[in-house]
Amino acid sequence: MNATSSVRIGCAGWSILSRHGAHFESAGSHLARYATRFDVVEINSSFYRSHAPATYARWAASVPRAFRFSVKVPKDITHEARLQGTGSLLSRFTDEVAGLGRRLGGLLVQLPPSLVFDMRTANTFFAMLRRRAEVPVACEPRHPSWFEPRVDATLKRYDITRVAADPALIPQAARPHGFGPWTYWRWHGSPRMYYDAYDASQLHDLAVALLAHAERRRAAWCIFDNTAGGHAIANAVQLQQLMRGPLSAATDVRPQSSRKAPQPR
């Protein structure tokens, strides 16, 4: 298999601004149009509210067979319950996302910055999750304790990959790590999260990193979350173009933004 074919590039959500319309076919829903250009999307709305299985099934029916969704685990589980006592919440969530069928590509577990690694809590949570879901799981921790060597035993036991995030709160957070069949990048916009675009040099380095991991026979997924300034689609398209041609051919097309960034979510 060509390493490039193991790389999936997409956005957090599928809204299409009018200025990006030329990148997509003109007919159909936003999701159907989005899927004419990209082969993966991250569902973030699941973090804030539940969706009926029929809604997930409708989304799955509107995209090509090879398209995949990653779904963000609800904040009720990660931020409010803080991974503890979440059995019933996990059952409801995994029953809902089962509506995606084979187009469910993986789950994203983003943790609050204040959540310190506790081995018993983490092992209990991921064991419960694994009893309910066999798909790849990516974890985006944001407390330094999750980057200590002792965490590897938990990641390995449950086949969890650690997200490569940008901007990274600590240096280790910038690199993918962990286990399972994939690696997962989440680029939130830098230096201002959610609002700023990435320039050609940054995207070039990202393309090289994605290809390197794909050549090791691990699928590499990259999600752009800099949606508040409307730059996610543009950056995803640029990265696609870099992956398809000589990586040295990048040009700086970084848009400008002057809006204040929110706190990490």
- pLDDT tens across 198-248, in order? 999 999 999 999 998 888 778 999 999 999 989 999 999 999 999 987 654
Neighbours of 148 (CB within 10 A): 10
What is the structure's pLDDT at 3?
Answer: 59
Task: Return the higher-pLDDT residue of 51 and 243.
Answer: 51
Predicted confidence band at 91 (pLDDT cuts at 50, 70, 90)? very high
Portion of the chain with pLDDT greater than 90, in percent: 82
Distance, in Å, from the CA atom of 109 to the CA atom of 30, rounded to the nearest integer, reads 25
* Tens-place pLDDT, residues 55-89: 999 999 999 999 999 999 999 999 999 999 999 99
Say whether pLDDT at 17 is over 80.
Answer: yes
Residue 264 has pLDDT above 80, yes or no: no
Task: Check: pTM over 0.85? Answer yes or no.
Answer: yes
Q: Is 157 left (phi over 0), alpha (psi -120 to 50) or beta?
A: alpha
Amino acid at 192: R
Residue 84 identity (one-letter amino acid):
Q
Residue 249 has pLDDT above 60, yes or no: no
Give exposure, 6-36, as e/b (b: 16+ Cβ within 10 Å). Answer: bbbbbbbbbebeeebeebbeeeeeebbbbbe
For residues 101-130, average pLDDT: 98
> Which of the four CATH numbers 3.40.710.10, 1.10.1240.10, 3.20.20.410, 3.40.50.300 does domain 3-249 have?
3.20.20.410
